[in-house]
Amino acid sequence: MNERIIQLINEKKFSILKEELNEAMAVDIAEAFEELDKKNSIILFRLLSKDLAVDVFSYLSGQQRKDIVDAIHETKLNEIIDELYFDDMIDFLEEMPANVVKKILVNATDEERKLINQFLNYPENSAGSLMTIEYVDLKKEMTVKEALEHIKKTGVDKETIYTCYVLNEKRKLEGIVSLRKLVLLEDNLLVEEIMNEDYISCTTLDDQEEVTLLFKKYDLLTVPVVDKEARLVGIITIDDIVDVIDQENTEDFQKMAAMEPNDEEYLYSNVFSLARRRIVWLALLMVTATLTEMIIGRFESTLAAITVLAASIPMLMDTAGNAGAQSSTLIIRGIALGEVELTDYIKVFWKEFRVSSIVGIALASINLIRMLLLGSEASVAFTVSITLLITIMMAKVVGGTLPIVAKKLRLDPAIMAGPLITTIVDVMALLVYFNIAGVLIL
């Protein structure tokens, strides 16, 4: 599809393109924008019918939207913005420079302006920042038939009609009815009789990660967002939650690899901003490694006497680091999925202790055989193997428990991943190594 659109633009076959665009899906058209320059982007956008333009616009990236906003007429811009779902409009306004936002707010009614400002103020990553206001509201006195008629009349502009919200005159959320029930049950039942009053909900300031856990646990399609007085302020739909899951996972991957998180796409990120997000942690870990230098410095005489000891330092440190990273990754992931809790500290400690003794004995044995076969002296081979056993056990217990400690201290467990664990474990590994060498060799 992309290739076809780009080809038609380059060949300036605009009337054919216009016709074919009406058969294409908005998300596919949006992908074509990635390959076009600014001039052609605007040409393509102008060829879209109004409804399609709205849909395509909601899929574009921030920069692409800015280019289009600069180029199209204000009237057309307002038409598009009017048609966007409320959550997409808020996302759009958040990206735009202040003068564009101002221009749009001028055209809004007082009430709209108040609502927009309220939504713009919800913190990033909060339930409030995810929600939309296009939901179906019902009254509990309605019959199923009346409810279906009400949906038919008002549903066309709603983001979803599959979950309907029963509100009283003060907009307090009294219950939830699925369209499934309305369609399957008898016409003369009252909404009050079939609505679910024990509904799952969240509040505007809840963290998006907690909201995600609700969706997963209860297999929901939507969640209502209520204020302190249980009044409905908006709803969150599953498609936005799927994006949040990806975003949260991407952030965890980045933090666990010692980067400041960011959800820009790699290929569209600026080189300097990529570099900046990597330097801080790298520098911090590098300076922390001064500790390993000090330890080796202290044992310089040991090392001078038996230089062969230096040969195994990289292997010992890599293995210890890998062993620690395995454990910390499992626990960080377990915490993120809600499978490991703070109270599981002792369980994790004991499990890692047992797992690490099996892993440590296995690795130490393999290493002993390897070194003896390669012709190492027995005393050196034993020193390295015993160090391996001890450091693997320390690495796994530290790697498994530090993420829980971080969570307890209200830090993000993801920082206690491979890179930091490796630095900590390196120090311990060297201390063990030189001390055992002192006993077994010197």
Please say which residue, 26 or 100, places its beta carbon nearer to a copy of itself: 26
Distance of closest approach, residue 304 Cβ to a copy of itself, in angstroms: 5
Distance, in Å, from the CA atom of 88 to the CA atom of 57, rounded to the nearest integer, reads 9
Please say which residue, 106 or 337, places its beta carbon nearer to a copy of itself: 337
- 437, 407 in Cβ contact below 8 A? no
Please say which residue, 69 or 403, places its beta carbon nearer to a copy of itself: 403
Distance of closest approach, residue 207 Cβ to a copy of itself, in angstroms: 18
Distance of closest approach, residue 335 Cβ to a copy of itself, in angstroms: 10
Question: Which amino acid makes up residue 208?
Answer: Q
User: Facing residues of 236 across strands?
Assistant: 223
Please say which residue, 30 or 108, places its beta carbon nearer to a copy of itself: 30
What count of other Cβ atoms lies within 10 Å of the Cβ of residue 128?
A: 24
Distance, in Å, from the CA atom of 321 to the CA atom of 315, rounded to the nearest integer, reads 10
- 398, 425 in Cβ contact below 8 A? yes
Please say which residue, 194 or 241, places its beta carbon nearer to a copy of itself: 241
Backbone angles phi, psi at 174, to 5 degrees: -95, -20
252-276 burial, b for 16+ CB within 10 Å, e for fewer? bebbbebbeeeeeeeeeeeeeeeee
Distance of closest approach, residue 109 Cβ to a copy of itself, in angstroms: 26
- CA nearest neighbour of 192 among 171, 174, 170: 174
Please say which residue, 232 or 336, places its beta carbon nearer to a copy of itself: 336
Distance of closest approach, residue 262 Cβ to a copy of itself, in angstroms: 10
Distance of closest approach, residue 293 Cβ to a copy of itself, in angstroms: 4
Distance, in Å, from the CA atom of 424 to the CA atom of 442, rounded to the nearest integer, reads 27
Backbone angles phi, psi at 338, to 5 degrees: 75, 15
| DSSP class of 123 | P
Distance, in Å, from the CA atom of 365 to the CA atom of 358, rounded to the nearest integer, reads 11
The DSSP secondary structure of 332-387, one letter per residue, reads HHHHHTT-S-GGGHHHHHHHHHHHHHHHHHHHHHHHHHHHHHTT--HHHHHHHHHH
Please say which residue, 84 or 296, places its beta carbon nearer to a copy of itself: 296
Distance of closest approach, residue 347 Cβ to a copy of itself, in angstroms: 6
Distance of closest approach, residue 382 Cβ to a copy of itself, in angstroms: 16
Distance of closest approach, residue 228 Cβ to a copy of itself, in angstroms: 23
Q: How far is CA 265 from CA 57, 83, 111, 274, 354, in A?
A: 18, 27, 36, 11, 41
Distance, in Å, from the CA atom of 76 to the CA atom of 69, rounded to the nearest integer, reads 9
Distance of closest approach, residue 322 Cβ to a copy of itself, in angstroms: 5
Distance, in Å, from the CA atom of 309 to the CA atom of 433, rounded to the nearest integer, reads 9
Please say which residue, 29 or 69, places its beta carbon nearer to a copy of itself: 29
Please say which residue, 9 or 325, places its beta carbon nearer to a copy of itself: 325
User: H-helix or E-strand containing 322?
Assistant: helix 313-336
| DSSP class of 223 | E
Distance of closest approach, residue 78 Cβ to a copy of itself, in angstroms: 25
Please say which residue, 171 or 333, places its beta carbon nearer to a copy of itself: 333
Q: Tokens for 43?
A: 């040409």
Please say which residue, 374 or 439, places its beta carbon nearer to a copy of itself: 374
